[in-house]
A = this chain, B = another copy of it.
């Protein structure tokens, strides 16, 4: 792989727990997007892979210049072999040789990557962090995912498990995460936690709100309309998230954080206090060329990132 090579047209597959989105991309440009596949309609991995392959072949028929297919999955995958070890939220997906199967069914070179790595790759290759040397990508949603580009390459760790920013601790005696890990970041800034926290705050102030009304979008709109509780909630999210980013900045001294996902769509409400918080924690040198950037891509990040990875790895 080299970032200087010419851009290859490839198919990107964004494999989510609910639906599978796919399309043809050339760099940042989406040439065609297929109808998505409801993941739950195909409980057997073989059937699901068959369905993906069907759509891949149809897309390639429309775009004969397609040279590769890349799939991003919500879980652990060995990038070298393309063996999916486990997808926590997709029943039956344990030790599935996805790269091999999809390659055989489509005749295309295939790459399989973790979804957060693919999002980070999209931003690094064609998005907000294009061409920077060291990039930390985050997606803020139900959980907090992350991906790392270090010294100009995807860093995956010893068991392909690197980048789990949501599991990092921001408090040694804090709220327990999914693994019993005290102070897990995503137990503070995940969508559900933001909603519960907002409901509690409104409750304390006598302004009861239903939990399902406390989405990041609603809290952002309230903050923009001048609601002091909502403004406070964003300050607090920035305090927690900024603590984790500050620690990562000390450890990795990156050029940029790129932040996507629903929570990031709050814009300045999040990014302004987050910038202040991170900069309150780091030295001048670490701050020197550190950028905290909103992601360029949103829903299409998976298609673009996975197509880019596959295209960059075409033999």
A residues in contact (CB < 8 Å) with B: 76, 85, 133-134, 146, 148, 150-151, 153, 155-165, 167-173, 179-183, 239-240, 243-244, 246-248, 250-255, 280-283, 285-286, 288-290
Contact = CB atoms under 8 A, between A and B. Distances in A.
Contacts of A133: 158
7 A-B pairs with the lowest CB-CB distances in the bound complex, closest first: A157-B253, A168-B247, A181-B281, A172-B243, A162-B253, A161-B253, A167-B250
A159 B251 contact: no
7 contacts: A85-B285, A146-B251, A150-B155, A156-B253, A165-B251, A168-B251, A251-B251
Contacts of A248: 251
Given A167-B283, A179-B281, 15 more contacts: A158-B289, A159-B286, A161-B285, A161-B286, A163-B251, A164-B250, A167-B250, A168-B246, A169-B244, A171-B173, A180-B280, A180-B281, A182-B243, A247-B247, A251-B251
A37 to B, nearest CB: 27
A102 to B, nearest CB: 23
